[in-house]
Amino acid sequence: MEEKQNWLQWTADRIGWEAIDKAMLTRKIPKVNWAYTLGSTTLFVAIIQLVTGMFLTMYYSPSPDHAYDSINYIMNDVTLGWLIRGLHHWGASVMVILVFLHMWRVFYYGAYKYPRELTWILGVLLLVTVLALGFTGYLLPFDQKSYFATRVGTSMAGVVPLIGPFLKRVLLAGEDVGTLTLARFYGLHIWILPALFVLFVVPHLYLVFRIGISAPPVLEEEDEEGEEA
């Protein structure tokens, strides 16, 4: 018997996205609370950062002579430039706050324990990546604030035992903040760190779906009462 199929069924037969829908959206989860939305909120802001960042590259110029002016141009002359740059600028701080809140939720509920240790380790790598994105992005406007903040930050790296001076030189691409530092931070900020972010976030989310979200912990007595009921 020939059945009339619509395009939804047609794509489902080929892609099999019903399985994805089942794994992600329609499966049962334990009774959780609002703190469990912090990971998804972080992911949402990360996507905003990625999209607004892509648009910013269309007008931003990573050279010491033009970086500051190109940001001014984005803010004052480009259509909706103020909005895109504003979202990216404030989104960076929001993301750092959200990552810490999400980590705190996971720690407070003991959700890092077996079998979620790998999810936690990937989370730590994500945290470092997010902080590095913030640090490298801060230099890009190349104004006084970002210039001196980078000098302070790289000097701190310079006093790390043993590898400090080497680390500082690698970060600065020389002895002091200059043209090559800006180029290096830009490359890190728009290519290497976002690539690392994706590399870590994909298995992080895969593990969340594979293992399932943890239930909020309960006191032993509450647990026993629950069993009796």
Q: Which residues lie near ligand HEM (CB under 6 A)?
A: 36, 38-40, 42-43, 46, 99, 102-103, 106, 111-112, 116, 119-120, 123-124, 126-127, 130, 201, 204, 208, 213-214
Q: Smallest distance from the beta carbon of 63 to ligand HEM, in angstroms?
A: 30
Q: What count of Cα atoms within 13 Å lies in the side-chain half-sphere of residue 79?
A: 0
CB 78, min distance to ligand HEM, A: 28
159 secondary structure, DSSP code: T
- Which one, 59 or 120, has the nearer CB to ligand HEM? 120
Least separation in angstroms between CB 208 and ligand HEM: 4
- Minimum CB–partner distance for residue 186 and ligand HEM (Å): 21
Cα–Cα distance list, 52 to 39, 130, 171, 211 (Å): 20, 16, 25, 32
Alpha-carbon span 106 to 112, nearest angstrom: 6
Q: Which is nearer to ligand HEM, 103 or 171 (CB)?
A: 103
Q: Which is nearer to ligand HEM, 26 or 79 (CB)?
A: 26
Task: Kindly tell me which of 35 and 149 has the beta carbon lying closer to ligand HEM.
Answer: 35
Q: Collapsing DSSP states into helix, strand and coil, what is residue 21?
A: helix
Q: What share of the chain is helix, strand, coil (3-state, %, to 5)?
A: 75, 0, 25
Contacts of 172 (CB under 8 A, 6+ apart): 154, 178, 180, 181, 184
Please report where in the chains the tokens 């705190």 appear, as a residue.
Answer: 104
> Least CB distance from residue 45 to ligand HEM, whole Å?
8
Position with the least CB separation from ligand HEM: 123
If the CB atoms of residues 183 and 205 are measured against ligand HEM, the closer one turns out to be 205
Residue whose CB is less far from ligand HEM, 102 or 168: 102
Q: Which of 133, 152, 140 is nearest to 93 (CA)?
A: 133
Q: How far is the CB of 134 from ligand HEM (least distance, A)?
A: 12
String of DSSP letters for 24-67 = HTSS------GGGGHHHHHHHHHHHHHHHHHHHTTT---STTTH
Minimum CB separation from ligand HEM for residue 79, in Å?
30
> Between residues 123 and 137, which has the closer beta carbon with respect to ligand HEM?
123
